[in-house]
Every structure is written in structure tokens, then in C-alpha cells.
Amino acid sequence: MRSLDPADRDAALQRLRRARTWVVLGALGLTGAASGAAAASFRGHHATSKTTTTTTTPPETTTQQAPRAAPSGPDAIPLPPSASGDDQNLQAPQQAPQQAPQPAPAPAQPAPQPPATSGGS
Amino acid sequence: MSASATWRALGTKAVVMADHAPGLPAAWAAVERELDAIDRSCSRFRDDSELTMVNRAGGRRTAVGPLLVEALLAALRAARLTDGDVDPTIGEALVLAGYDRDFASVQGSRHTLKAIRAPGWRVVEVDAAAGTVRVPAGVVLDLGATAKALAADRAARAAAQAAGCGVLVNLGGDLATAGQPPPGGWHVRVTHDHAAPPDAPGETVLVTTGALATSSTTVRRWRRGADTIHHILDPATGAPAAGPWQTVSVAAATCVDANTAATAAIVRGERAVAWLEHLGLPARLWRTDGSVERVAGWPEPAQEAAAA
């Protein structure tokens, strides 16, 4: 059995503590890197949940003439999900079509945009 | 103030509406780019399209671009989710029925229709990673039931991003929206024919999210022998669907889903009501006798609600 000088022992313990510190710091670093990679990989899902929130919020603007602020980026535009490639069932809209009000006679106002037409083609 | 543009594309009428007029030019340009790309990839009637290359490959594997891969995956998903009522391998049956060119050029024939069942979507091999497609020799793919709807979805997304406002894209009655809708929603008239005037029979609804599509047996009709046939074929028989519905409109999260459900409903007949209800897809089904069924929250028309 090798005898150990107290000074040698203290130095060895110091090295052990340093090594343990590096192991902990390394583990923390790897965990952070893995979290970042996972967040980047699932960015699409994140955007979808944003879409849900934004789209169900009724528009605050009440006049069609009011100027709108430019969106800050692509995420500001609620976009429909992609339909291709997944096995999810056919998806209902977030809100069913609503009954259109009967057009009220308003001769003083400019004619509104004619409705879009959905029919066979 | 909203604004719109109308032009011809994909053999039908294309419309883009922007909720903010200054955004229209950018939205229109974005839609045109998408439609051009879809046409070059997915048209059955263009000699130079990727789909034509696949159909003429004689059973060999063909390298294709990501857009056709996406369109094929959408078509195969539609087939899976409808148990084959919407099937991209219906192409040969359509050709035999006489729909072998752009519909504007389709002519009647004195010969009786020779119907053949579709080979079935399971024969289609798509390798998305490698970007290759293979179908057995003789199988003709037709993406008519899903590619136009996919184009509407993609175009609406691209237009909203380009314009920075709410948009509605309408491709021959296949509608997709993106961005913030106008206050109250987009006014959409559902009727038999997408080219019908605003006072044609039907009803108007407000759409705030997602998409709406209509399939109808009342349009794209031509003569075969003594019969008048239409373009919605039942893949199980290759003959025109002969159910109780002449026109079905469906709202869904995407136009691909809406058009898949509307076309499948025409093929499924009476079973479609319970199916759509089960899926929670708001739909309006118009019988050949003129009566209407509304399911899964499709609204009653204003005058009937007021009377009730």
C-alpha cells in the first residue's frame, strides 16, 4: 500500500473537486444545448399554438377604412396549418361558418365587396 | 378597405381578396407564383408537368420536386382518411370517361362509358426523403380532388405573409383564408356553380377561419352515349357517383380537408351525413330534389332562422 503525504492527499482532493466541478458544468452545458435543439426542432408546433390564440381573438378594428399596423413578423399572421403528410383526421375549422346577416338597405354607403362564391368547378 | 383581383388559372377562375387594399398587389403576386408552381408540378394536362412524367414512366421510379411530393402525400392522406372514396389513382377511369384534357376542351362521345375501378391508392410509392415516386405501369394519377385545394391553402398562406393582412383565395370554389379576417368575417356564397351570379340559388355565410370547399355534380358534365356524366367518379366503380347529393359544401381547417370531405360526401351518399357529423365538419348537403341538410353547426339561413 502506498503511503500518502498529507500535502499530496490535499492536492489530490483539490483535483477531485475541480474535476467534479467540470463534470457538473459540462452536464449543465449539455442540458442547455439539448433544450435549445429541442426548442428549435419543434418551432412549428409552437407557431401553431400561437395561431390558435390569435385567430380566435375577434378583430378589434370595427371600420374597414382604419389603417392597420404592419405585422412584426411572419408569426403575426395567423396561418392555416399544412394538410399534407400527416395521419390526423380531417380537421374542423376553429369556428364554423356563421349566418350572414340580411343585407340592410344602406343607399348612402358604397357597395360592399361582392361575396366570394364557393360552388362546384 | 378590401380589394380583390380575378383571373384564369388552373383551368378555372382564381380570385384573391385582400382585407387591406394596399396589400393586394403583393398578395396577388404571391398567389400567382404558387399557382404556377402547382400547375408545373401537378397538372395532368400539361406534357411538361412532373405528374405527367410520373404517369408516363412505365412503372419506373421518377425523381420529382418537393411540391409534387407534398401534393401526393396530401392525396394519399385524403385516400386513407376516406377509405378510398377520394383516390388519386382515378386518372385512367377519368380518361376512359372522356376527361382526358383540360375540361374546356372535353368533348362528348357517342360511345357508352366504359367504367373501370381505380387501382387503389396503395399502389402509389412515394419516397419523400429521396424525392421519388413510382406507380405501376398503366396507373394514371389525377390530383384533381386535392391539388387545387392544396394550391388554395399554400397560396393563402403565402399571400397573407406577403401582404401583411387578411386574405381569401378562391380557386374555382375552393376557398382558403389566412390572416385576420375582415370584421365579421368573409362573405361566402355557397351555390352549385362557382361561376354563378351572386343571386344564384344558395346561401351566404361568414367565414372567419380556415377554408370552405364545394363539390358538385352539376358542373363539368358531358355526354357519353345516351348519358350525361359528371367528373366526380366513384373509385370503387369508375362510374360517376350517383348518390342523393348534387352539391356539398364543407368548412374545415384547410381547403384540402374541406375539399376531401366534400368530394367524399358526394361519393358516400347518405352515409356522408353521419360521417361529417362524427368528424365535426360543418357542411351543407344539397339533395338532387332541392332539399338541404345542414350538419355539425352549419348555420341556418337568415330568413329561415328569423321565421323559426
pLDDT in tens, A3-25: 556 677 677 777 777 877 787 77
Sort out which chain B residues have CB atoms less than 8 A from A98's CB and list them: 185, 205-206, 208, 299
Q: Pick from B164, B189, B219: which is nearest to A70 by CB?
A: B164
Interface test with A, best of B257, B268, B278, B295 (most A CBs within 10 A): B257
* pLDDT tens, position by position, A80-98: 555 444 668 999 999 999 9
Sort out which chain A residues have CB atoms less than 8 A from B216's CB and list them: 119-120
CA B97 – CA B28 distance, rounded (Å): 35
Q: How far is CA B155 from each of CA A110, B16, B134, B150, rounded to the nearest angstrom?
A: 29, 9, 27, 8
User: What percent of chain B clears pLDDT 90, i.e. is strictly above it?
Assistant: 73
Q: What is the reported pLDDT for B213? A: 96
> Locate cell 390558435: which residue?
A52
Residues B196 and A117 sit within 8 Å (Cβ to Cβ): yes
Three-state secondary-structure class, residue B181: coil
Query: A93-96: long-range contacts at Cβ-Cβ below 8 A with a sequence spacing of 24 or more?
Result: A93/B207, A93/B209, A93/B210, A93/B211, A93/B251, A93/B252, A93/B253, A93/B282, A94/A52, A94/A55, A94/A56, A94/B209, A94/B210, A94/B253, A95/A56, A95/B208, A95/B209, A95/B210, A96/B251, A96/B282, A96/B296, A96/B297, A96/B298, A96/B299
Q: Pick from A83, A99, A119: which is nearest to B192 by CB?
A: A119
Sort out which chain B residues have CB atoms less than 8 A from A113's CB and list them: 2-4, 17, 187
Residues B9 and B171 sit within 8 Å (Cβ to Cβ): yes
* pLDDT tens, position by position, B84-95: 999 999 998 888
Q: Pick from B17, B185, B216: which is nearest to A98 by CB?
A: B185
The answer to whether residue B104 scores a pLDDT higher than 90 is no
Q: What is the reported pLDDT for B1? A: 81
| Beta strands at B292-295 and B283-287: parallel, antiparallel or unpaired | antiparallel
A residues 70-99 lying closer than 8 A (beta carbon) to B: 70-71, 74, 77-87, 89-99
Q: How far is CA B202 from each of CA A21, B15, B298, rounded to the nearest angstrom?
A: 74, 20, 13
Q: What is the reported pLDDT for A59? A: 32
pLDDT-derived band at A46 (thresholds 50, 70, 90) equals very low
Q: Do A64 and B19 touch (CB under 8 A)?
A: yes
Query: How many contacts does A have with B, using Cβ atoms within 8 A?
Result: 235
Q: Do A120 and B173 touch (CB under 8 A)?
A: yes
Q: What is the reported pLDDT for A68? A: 36
ipTM: 0.83
Which of A77-81, A115-119, B256-260 has the weakest average pLDDT?
A: A77-81
pLDDT-derived band at A49 (thresholds 50, 70, 90) equals very low
**Shortest alpha-carbon distance between residue B304 and chain A (Å):** 11
Q: Do A77 and B178 touch (CB under 8 A)?
A: yes
Q: What is the reported pLDDT for A51? A: 29
Q: What is the reported pLDDT for B218? A: 86
Query: What is chain A's Cα-based Rg?
Result: 31
The answer to whether residue B134 scores a pLDDT higher than 60 is yes
**Shortest alpha-carbon distance between residue B180 and chain A (Å):** 7
> Locate cell 351566404: which residue?
B204
CA proximity to B154, closest of B126, B128, B178:
B178
- Mean pLDDT for B226-240 is 81
* pLDDT tens, position by position, B38-83: 999 999 889 999 999 999 999 999 999 999 999 999 999 999 999 9
Q: Do A64 and B260 touch (CB under 8 A)?
A: no
Residues B235 and B118 sit within 8 Å (Cβ to Cβ): yes
Average pLDDT over all residues of chain A: 59
Average pLDDT over all residues of chain B: 90
Sort out which chain A residues have CB atoms less than 8 A from B180's CB and list them: 54, 59, 78
The answer to whether residue A76 scores a pLDDT higher than 50 is no
Q: Which residues are B15's β-sheet partners?
A: B6, B170
**Shortest alpha-carbon distance between residue A15 and chain B (Å):** 50
- A64 shares contact with chain B (CB less than 8 Å): yes
**Shortest alpha-carbon distance between residue B152 and chain A (Å):** 11
CA A117 – CA B175 distance, rounded (Å): 9
The answer to whether residue A54 scores a pLDDT higher than 60 is no
Give chain A as a DSSP string.
-----HHHHHHHHHHHHHHHHHHHHHHHHHHHHHHHHHHHHTHHHHHHHHHHHHHHSPP----TTS--PPPSSGGGS--PPP-SS--PPPPPPSS--EEPPPPPP-TTSPPPPPPEEEEE-
**Shortest alpha-carbon distance between residue A68 and chain B (Å):** 8
Closest residue of chain B to A56, computed from CA coordinates: B209
Kindly state the cell numbers that stand for A89.
383526421
CA A48 – CA A88 distance, rounded (Å): 15
Name the residue with higher pLDDT: B254 or A64: B254
Q: Do B153 and A100 touch (CB under 8 A)?
A: no
* pLDDT tens, position by position, B35-47: 999 999 999 889 9
Cβ atoms within 10 Å, residue B178: 30
Q: Pick from A62, A116, A118: which is nearest to B17 by CB?
A: A116
CA B35 – CA B139 distance, rounded (Å): 25
Q: Do A92 and B282 touch (CB under 8 A)?
A: yes
- Mean pLDDT for B182-188 is 94
